[in-house]
Amino acid sequence: MTTHQGDGPVLSIRDLAVALPAGADRRYAVEGVSFDVGPGEIVCVVGESGSGKSVTAFSVMGLLAKGELHAERGQILLEGEDVLKATPERLRDLRGTRMAMIFQEPATALNPVMTIGDQIDEVLQIHTKLSPAERREKVIAIMEAMHLPDPQALYDRYPHQLSGGQRQRVMIAAAMVLDPVILIADEPTTALDVTTQAQILQLIKEMQERRRTGVLFITHDFGVVAEIADKVVVMRYGKVVEQGPAAEIFANPKVAYTRMLIASVPSLEPPTRTAASGEVAVRTRDLVKGYGGKSWLGRATQPSVLAAKDVNLVVRRGETLGVVGESGSGKSTVARCIVRLVDPTSGAIEIAGVDIAGLSTRALTPYRRRVQMVFQDPYRSLNPRRTVGASVMEGPMNFGLPREEALARARRLMSLVGLSPDALDRYPHQFSGGQRQRIAIARALAMEPDVLIADEAVSALDVSVQKQVLELLDQVKREFDLALLFITHDLRVAAQICDRIAVMRRGEVVEEGPTRELFLDPKHEYTRTLLAAAPGRHLGPAVAAE
């Protein structure tokens, strides 16, 4: 099947340097990058944000943003041909035929107004002289090869009618339809659920094995690296810090940074914990939240979609309950109901023994204080136009705390979350994501809540930062005897921080139990699937939680 002749590398990057525009914080986005991808080899480029891994990938395709980034030095040899020196026409010829690329977000990488058949067909239209019938046949064939169900019917569907996994398969189909020698995959599974991710990784491996395609795989996730990599390239600040065969890197990382990265990956092996016995801080009874179902006269009728169905949860003080599930499982809905950002359709939410599910805005106010939330996106959860101090002090002052006291409390909390109290006078954009998440925690704590809800609070952070924030959460939970409701899709994280875990799927809690029990002896089929899908299961030392 392979179209690459010979055993030399299909892609060889030599001393690549890509310049940043003047005025940036450093001169080069990447500098002195060299590595090879052989036929049938999966090379993972791994690094945290800003490491230059994606710039490297885009340089190969010649897709760097015009006028802002350009390759200043070095060579990118595709089967011996330097693509940096290729004319735009030649580059267009190479794309789709010899090299192909897939992206992180299959939802946005596909044109929403073209049928998926047409989008795969487009590659053939550009690069071949096949007749429409021949092209269609070839498209159907590659769709079958990607294990897409019922390709004939799927051909005329639009991207939004497909699941995330199917969309990424379509992307791969379009990339592979002309059998390129190299596939560049830029974080292709980051946006996917863990079970889907496992399937896509499986598919990429299959391509590489059956077609001997070289794969340049960009990722930040060491779990994924452990799962598929033949060779690993670790990047930091635009430079390669270490590269070598995967087994070697994992077994014996030479550079401290690599060691740190690997160590930051939470282990799937939950530590032993003792059951919490504090008083019940929050309890939901048969909580239901439905969406839609508005009649055209504007009156609400029976909800058409149930985002949460008869959810019963209990969190005690001093306890962390993890709610784990894939996207659409309803885990965030439950959290938002408890904070009353959305109104539950039915059921009860008891805070300190009082049902707040049906309280009016006014009656709710005293209970607002007791439940606080830390949001997923650290870049959007602080008002960019107000100082950090204003954000942290807003809550206590709403409840009548005098300014001076609120300020004192805020300063105390800033120290507690590991920031300088002077930070209160600054604006959110002056802080990094991890720092902002610390501020968000401080803001929540300023209310002196009983319950803290962390809604995917660490999923947007790099692993090294993630670890620190997790530790902070665990610390404040203990210090303030909080009931912590931890919403996450990441089993590794859940394993390390949660005392108990509730697994949700399609609005329902399918299984609940102490973390260790649930991991070691999952009762529900779905829980088992989730655990099996976690990439790099063997990876990572246990983080001591106690």
Partner 1 sequence: MPLLVLQRLVSTIPVLLVVAVIVFLMLRISGDPAAILAGDTATSAQIEAVRQAFGFDRPIWEQFLGWIVQVLQGDLGESLFTGLPVTTLIAQRIEPTLMLALTTIVFSVLVAVPLGVLAAWRSGTWIDRAVMVFAVLGFSVPVFVLGYGFMYVFSIELRLLPVQGYTSPFVDPVAFAQGIILPTLTLSCIYIALIARITRASVLETLNEDYIRTARAKGQVERTVLFRHALRNAAVPIVTVIGLGVALLIGGVVVTESVFNIPGLGRLVVDAITRRDYPIIQGLILFFALIYVVLNLIIDLAYTLLDPRIRY
Partner 2 sequence: MTAVVDKTAEGAIPPGDEPTPAPAAPASHLAGTLRRYPLAAFAALVLALIAFGAVFAPLVGTTDPTALNPAARLQGASATHWLGTDHLGRDVWSRLVYGARVSVVVGLAVAALAVVVGLVIGLFTGFIRWLDPIVMRVMDGLMAIPGILLAIALVSVSGASIVTVIAAIVVPEVPRVVRLVRSVVLSVREEPYVEAAVSVGTPLPKLLWRHVLPNCVPPLIVQATYVAASAMLTEAILSFLGAGTPPIVPSWGNMVAEGRLLFQIAPMNLLYPGIALAITILAVNILGDALRDRLDPKLAKRVGQR
Q: Which is nearer to partner 1, 26 or 160 (CB)?
A: 160
Q: Could you say which DSSP state residue 278 is in?
A: P
| Partner in contact with 219, chosen from partner 2, partner 1, none, beta carbon below 5 to 8 Å by kind | none
Q: Which is nearer to partner 1, 112 or 384 (CB)?
A: 112
| Partner in contact with 379, chosen from partner 2, partner 1, none, beta carbon below 5 to 8 Å by kind | partner 2
**CB 33 within 8 Å of CB 16:** yes
Contacts of 475 (CB under 8 A, 6+ apart): none
Measured between alpha carbons, how far is 163 from 185 in angstroms, rounded to an integer? 19
Position among 14, 70, 73, 127 found at the interface with partner 1 (CB under 8 A): 127
Position among 123, 182, 335, 417 found at the interface with partner 1 (CB under 8 A): 123
CA 504 → CA 30, 189, 269, 305, 310, distances in Å?
Answer: 42, 21, 20, 16, 11
Q: Return the H-helix or E-strand segment holding 409.
A: helix 403-416
CA 125 → CA 100, 117, 133, 177, 179, distances in Å?
Answer: 16, 12, 12, 12, 15
Question: If DSSP states are collapsed to H, E and C, what string results for 136-150?
Answer: HHHHHHHHHHCCCCC
Q: Which is nearer to partner 2, 21 or 132 (CB)?
A: 21
In whole angstroms, how close is the CB of 524 to partner 1 at the nearest point? 34
| Partner in contact with 394, chosen from partner 2, partner 1, none, beta carbon below 5 to 8 Å by kind | partner 2
Q: How many residues does the chain have?
A: 546
| Partner in contact with 243, chosen from partner 2, partner 1, none, beta carbon below 5 to 8 Å by kind | none
Q: Which is nearer to partner 2, 250 or 431 (CB)?
A: 431
Residues forming contacts to partner 2 in the complex (CB under 8 A) are 20-21, 23-25, 29, 48-50, 54-55, 58, 63-65, 68-69, 103-105, 186-187, 190, 220, 298, 339-341, 365, 368-369, 371-373, 375-386, 391, 394-395, 398-399, 427, 429-434, 440, 443, 446-447, 460-462, 464-465
Position among 171, 268, 338, 470 found at the interface with partner 1 (CB under 8 A): 171
| Partner in contact with 427, chosen from partner 1, partner 2, none, beta carbon below 5 to 8 Å by kind | partner 2
- Whole-number CA gyration radius for the chain: 26
Q: Could you say which DSSP state residue 542 is in?
A: P
In whole angstroms, how close is the CB of 406 to partner 2 at the nearest point? 11
| Partner in contact with 100, chosen from partner 1, partner 2, none, beta carbon below 5 to 8 Å by kind | partner 1
Helix (H, G, I), strand (E, B) or coil at 236: strand
Q: Could you say which DSSP state residue 195 is in?
A: H
Q: Which is nearer to partner 1, 178 or 234 (CB)?
A: 178
| Partner in contact with 477, chosen from partner 2, partner 1, none, beta carbon below 5 to 8 Å by kind | none
Helix (H, G, I), strand (E, B) or coil at 22: coil
300 is an interface residue for partner 1 by CB under 8 A:
no
Q: How crowded is residue 492: how many other Cβ atoms within 10 Å of its Cβ?
A: 26
Question: Per CB under 8 A, which of residues 60..119 are in contact with partner 1?
Answer: 61, 63, 91-97, 100-101, 103, 105, 108-114
| Partner in contact with 328, chosen from partner 2, partner 1, none, beta carbon below 5 to 8 Å by kind | none
Q: Which is nearer to partner 1, 128 or 468 (CB)?
A: 128
* Residue 448 region by backbone torsions, left for phi larger than 0, else alpha for psi between -120 and 50, else beta: left
Measured between alpha carbons, how far is 97 from 82 in angstroms, rounded to an integer? 16
Residue 349 amino acid letter: I
**CB 216 within 8 Å of CB 45:** yes
53 is an interface residue for partner 1 by CB under 8 A:
no
* Residue 113 region by backbone torsions, left for phi larger than 0, else alpha for psi between -120 and 50, else beta: alpha
| Partner in contact with 516, chosen from partner 1, partner 2, none, beta carbon below 5 to 8 Å by kind | none
**What is the phi/psi pair of residue 299, to 5°?**
-85, 145
In whole angstroms, how close is the CB of 199 to partner 1 at the nearest point? 21
| Partner in contact with 462, chosen from partner 2, partner 1, none, beta carbon below 5 to 8 Å by kind | partner 2
Measured between alpha carbons, how far is 108 from 120 in angstroms, rounded to an integer? 15
What is the C-alpha end-to-end distance of the chain, expressed in Å? 54
Measured between alpha carbons, how far is 493 from 470 in angstroms, rounded to an integer? 8
In whole angstroms, how close is the CB of 192 to partner 1 at the nearest point? 15
351 is an interface residue for partner 1 by CB under 8 A:
no
Q: Which residues bind partner 1 (CB under 8 A)?
A: 61, 63, 91-97, 100-101, 103, 105, 108-114, 122-123, 126-127, 158, 160, 171, 174, 296
